[in-house]
Amino acid sequence: MMRISSLFTFCFLSVVSAQTVYLAGDSTMALGGGGSGTQGWGVPLSQFLTIPVVNDAVAGESARSYSDEGRFTSLINSVKSGDFVVHHRSMSAPRLTQSCILTSGIFFWFGHNDVSAGAVDNGKQDAVGDGYNITSTVTAANGTQILIHSFAFYIENAVNAIKAKGGIPIISSLTPDNIWTTTSPIVIAAGGRFVTYAQSVGVDTSITYVDHYDYVAQAYNKLGQTAVTAFYPIDHLHTNANGALVVAEAFVRGLLCGTSTLKNFVNAAGKAVPSTRLLVNESSFVVAV
Ligand SMILES: *[C@@H]1O[C@H](CO)[C@@H](O)[C@H](O)[C@H]1NC(C)=O
Ligand SMILES: *[C@@H]1O[C@H](CO)[C@@H](O)[C@H](O)[C@H]1NC(C)=O
Ligand SMILES: *[C@@H]1O[C@H](CO)[C@@H](O)[C@H](O)[C@H]1NC(C)=O
């Protein structure tokens, strides 16, 4: 169950006039992670920003359930329109060119995840496919047939509602599991279809997309399988606090490499992430939190 719910792991941020960052996602982002001492990366993220982070991620949620349960609506209601100033966007090269992802699509090869439920709908699965208008008819627990929509449908509706209120949505791809290739080179396994879906939402709605999957994979590959496995005390999905920190750092690096105005709110600790954390070897990588 945890495994299925986790397949939805996008992050959705909105920078508003009150200078607040809202996060929406699942247990890998949420306070308390998946329980049993694990932690979501939305928690340490606040260490790296100069503005408050409101972590509205909830364990077990999918794009559809987050939408159907009214959580997007609540979040959208919290977002204030106003005077957020869109700062100058530097067109200069990212400061750490060698570690920024400058092309997209390099991780699109495999769809190793499938959130489809079995014969009975679980309230979380989305219609399979990359596109706003894709739908599917499924059998609810009470036996009735219900229409469900795609990942893009649920997310893009929220994105557009946030935009309408003057917020600035950002979408990131889900983060990797502790699953590695079995043949050399041993690296984090490729992202699945939800990485692709998240990027498509970014393109379709013209919002910033952070390829969080690949930034985390980059950090994990540098650390190596043994060190990364120590981040996963209960399963291959939920990190401990050290792992959450690495995942948050990877997100910050993604921000710094990109053009979102949220990068203007990365603090000194966040700006130090690429050089002091992700680019050093593993003995000095993991810091106490
Ligand atoms: C979805 O379908 C509607 C109605 O046919 C159409 O207007 C819209 O362009 C479609 N959206 C996408 C993203 O294909
Ligand atoms: C059956 O379940 C679906 C999904 O939860 C719900 O929308 C519908 O109203 C239910 N129908 C009845 C007759 O209870
Ligand atoms: C890793 O960093 C430590 C501490 O800076 C250093 O002593 C060690 O030689 C480094 N190892 C490698 C393989 O670079």
Residue 96 in this model has a pLDDT that exceeds 70:
no
Ligand 1 shell residues, CB under 6 Å? 132-133
pLDDT at 209: 87
- Both tokens assigned to 46: 């606040």
Decide whether any atom of ligand 3 lies within 6 Å of the 281 Cβ: yes
Does 132 fall in a domain?
Answer: no
- In sequence order, what DSSP letters do the residues of 145-204 get, joined into one string? EEEEEBHHHHHHHHHHHHHHTT--EEEEPPPPPS-B-SSSS--BPPP-HHHHHHHHHHHH
State the pLDDT confidence band at 286, using cuts at 50, 70 and 90. Answer: very low
Mean pLDDT for all residues in the chain: 77
State the pLDDT confidence band at 4, using cuts at 50, 70 and 90. Answer: very low
pLDDT at 254: 84
Please report the atom of ligand 1 found closest to the CA of residue 204: 13
* Ligand nearest to the Cα of 149, by number: 1
Distance from CA of residue 91 to its chain's centroid? 25
Dihedral of alpha carbons 113, 225, 199, 24, sign: positive
State the pLDDT confidence band at 13, using cuts at 50, 70 and 90. Answer: low
- Pick the range with the lowest mean pLDDT from 76-90, 133-147, 201-215: 76-90
**Overall number of domains in the chain:** 1
Does 103 fall in a domain?
Answer: yes
Does 88 fall in a domain?
Answer: yes
Pick 233 or 167 by higher pLDDT.
Answer: 233
Pick 280 or 42 by higher pLDDT.
Answer: 42
- pLDDT tens per residue across span 48-83: 999 888 888 888 888 888 889 998 898 888 876 522
What is d(CA 258, CA 101) in angstroms, rounded to the nearest whole number? 9
5 catalytic per annotation: no
pLDDT at 17: 44
Give the H or E element holding residue 135.
Answer: strand 135-139
Does 256 fall in a domain?
Answer: yes
| Residue of 212, 214, 238, 260 marked catalytic | 238
Does 123 fall in a domain?
Answer: no
| Residues 6+ away with beta carbon under 8 Å from 10 | 24, 25, 63, 155, 171, 172, 173, 174, 194, 198, 201
The arithmetic mean of pLDDT across residues 205-226, rounded, is 89
Does 143 fall in a domain?
Answer: no
Question: Which residue minimizes the CA distance to atom 2 of ligand 1?
Answer: 133
* Ligand nearest to the Cα of 64, by number: 2
Does 127 fall in a domain?
Answer: no
State the pLDDT confidence band at 42, using cuts at 50, 70 and 90. Answer: very high
Q: Work out the percent of the chain whose per-residue pLDDT is above 90.
A: 35
Q: Work out the percent of the chain whose per-residue pLDDT is above 70.
A: 75
Residue 94 in this model has a pLDDT that exceeds 50:
no
pLDDT at 223: 87
| Residue of 5, 14, 27, 172 marked catalytic | 27
Select the highest-mean-pLDDT range: 139-143, 154-158, 207-211, 281-285: 139-143
Does 116 fall in a domain?
Answer: no
- pLDDT tens per residue across span 235-272: 999 999 999 999 999 989 888 888 888 888 899 999 88
CATH of the domain at 194: 3.40.50.1110
Q: How far is the CA of 149 from the centre of ligand 2 (A)?
A: 16
Question: Which residue minimizes the CA distance to atom 5 of ligand 3?
Answer: 284
pLDDT at 77: 86
Domain hosting 30: range is 2-108+151-284
Q: What values do phi and psi take at 255, rounded to 5?
A: -65, -45
State the pLDDT confidence band at 192, using cuts at 50, 70 and 90. Answer: confident
27 catalytic per annotation: yes
Pick 42 or 100 by higher pLDDT.
Answer: 42
| Residues 6+ away with beta carbon under 8 Å from 80 | 16, 17, 18, 165, 166
238 catalytic per annotation: yes
The arithmetic mean of pLDDT across residues 35-42, rounded, is 94
Q: How far is the CA of 222 from the centre of ligand 3 (A)?
A: 13
The arithmetic mean of pLDDT across residues 25-31, rounded, is 89
pLDDT at 88: 19
pLDDT at 139: 95
